[in-house]
């Protein structure tokens, strides 16, 4: 295994799939010779050339319109929307066109494409460049939604997303691009919709996504050492398809459920999981379901304020240790 950064794993997954399938192409703003604003696609232009790695105008609608057209005619495009906040500019294309094409044509037209985007806070980019919008995407029928928490999952999940017959929104947490871990060599694919039990435990189930996963893991270590609590940490990996069975199995074992979400509290993905748990596991719960979230306000750019708003290790430890 090689130790790769989160950003290097993005390029590794894309190169793996572009070598495997000549139909895979890549387009976006400054993604070719520049290697992307987050340097997550360095080397792809040099290997695959200008026909398969293309810079676009600064127009999210044009990027996704071209990607959708390419997918409808037999290619398997990967499109980059630089910041996930900019989905607001092209949301009509995503929601009303890309997500609906196969359904509205009774399967005659497919849109097998991946839309990659830098998502989330922690990098001091302010309210218009730091949003976590995975809950926007989760609410749209016809889209698959993926958000990896480490470099190995980036490679495996992105490869699976590129091979998938449905449109996939692939959210890369911006503050994690520099983090590193061991990544399997060679062809590597992780099936979509399979959560990972990152830490096994018996007292509390903590469900997290993307940048919240390492925080939940660290909190679990502290809770074990300082409070004697055994926490099971589940890395969802995907919101759609959602691995409800792993959540249910864990909560039956622990009797307690905590979700840790970077997105704002109102209508966050944790609310859906809390709803499922309340319906399916009411008699298994020994305490109220607890959600740890960012408050429902725009994200600050000032470091101390942003750190205060986004769930932290300390907040997870305090919340879990005070559960009934």
- The encoded tokens of residue 25 equal 């192409």
Q: With a threshold of 0.85, does the pTM exceed it?
A: yes
In sequence order, which ranges of 55-191 are alpha helices (DSSP H)?
60-72, 87-92, 101-104, 134-138, 151-163
Closest CA to 44 of 25, 63, 61: 25
Identify the pLDDT of residue 1.
85
Q: Give the DSSP letter of residue 251.
A: H
Sequential DSSP letters for 129-152? S----HHHHHTSTT-EEE--SSHH
Q: What percent of the chain has pLDDT over 90?
A: 99
Identify the pLDDT of residue 312.
97
Helix count (H) and strand count (E) of the chain?
12, 14
Residue 18 predicted with pLDDT over 90:
yes
* CATH class name, domain 2-183: alpha beta
Contact in structure between 294 and 265 (CB atoms under 8 Å): yes
Identify the pLDDT of residue 324.
75
Residue in 129, 155, 174, 215 annotated catalytic: 129
Do 2-183 and 196-321 fold alike per CATH?
Answer: yes
CATH 3.20.20.150 fits 196-321, yes or no: no
Pairing of strands 2-5, 180-183: antiparallel
Contact in structure between 220 and 208 (CB atoms under 8 Å): no
Residue 134 predicted with pLDDT over 90:
yes
User: Mind listing the pLDDT tens digit for each residue in 150-199?
Assistant: 999 999 999 999 999 999 999 999 999 999 999 999 999 999 999 999 99
| Domain extent listing, the chain | 2-183, 196-321
User: Mind listing the pLDDT tens digit for each residue in 191-250?
Assistant: 999 999 999 999 999 999 999 999 999 999 999 999 999 999 999 999 999 999 999 999
User: Mind listing the pLDDT tens digit for each residue in 264-311?
Assistant: 999 999 999 999 999 999 999 999 999 999 999 999 999 999 999 999
- Please indicate whether residue 129 is annotated as part of the active site: yes
Mean pLDDT value across the chain: 97
User: Mind listing the pLDDT tens digit for each residue in 246-268?
Assistant: 999 999 999 999 999 999 999 99
């Amino acid at each position: 295994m090689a130790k790769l950064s989160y950003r290097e794993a993005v390029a590794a997954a894309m190169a793996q799939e572009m070598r495997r399938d000549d139909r895979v192409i890549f387009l976006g703003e400054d993604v070719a010779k520049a290697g992307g604003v987050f340097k997550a696609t360095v080397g792809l232009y040099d290997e695959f050339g200008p026909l398969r790695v293309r810079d676009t105008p600064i127009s999210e609608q044009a990027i996704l319109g071209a990607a959708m057209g390419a997918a409808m005619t037999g290619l398997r495009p990967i499109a980059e929307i630089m910041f996930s906040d900019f989905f607001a500019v092209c949301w009509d294309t995503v929601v009303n066109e890309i997500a609906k094409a196969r359904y509205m044509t009774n399967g005659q037209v497919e849109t097998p494409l991946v839309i990659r985007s830098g998502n989330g806070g922690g990098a001091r980019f302010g309210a218009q460049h730091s949003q976590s919008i995975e809950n926007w995407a989760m609410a749209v029928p016809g889209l698959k939604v993926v958000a990896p928490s480490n470099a190995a999952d980036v490679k495996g999940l992105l490869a699976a997303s590129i091979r998938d017959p449905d449109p996939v929104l692939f959210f890369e947490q911006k503050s994690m691009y520099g983090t590193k871990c061991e990544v399997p060599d060679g062809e590597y694919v992780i099936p979509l919709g399979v959560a990972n039990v990152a830490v096994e435990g018996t007292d509390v189930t903590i469900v997290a996504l993307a940048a919240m996963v390492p925080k939940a893991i660290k909190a679990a270590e502290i809770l074990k050492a300082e409070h004697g609590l055994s926490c099971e940490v589940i890395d969802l990996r995907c919101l759609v398809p959602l691995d409800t069975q792993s959540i249910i199995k864990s909560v039956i074992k622990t009797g307690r459920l905590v979700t840790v979400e970077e997105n704002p509290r109102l209508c966050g993905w944790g609310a859906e999981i809390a709803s499922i748990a309340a319906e399916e596991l009411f008699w298994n719960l020994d305490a109220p379901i607890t959600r740890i979230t960012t408050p429902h306000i725009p994200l600050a750019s000032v470091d101390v304020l942003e750190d205060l708003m986004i769930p932290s290790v300390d907040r997870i430890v305090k919340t879990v240790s005070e559960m009934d």
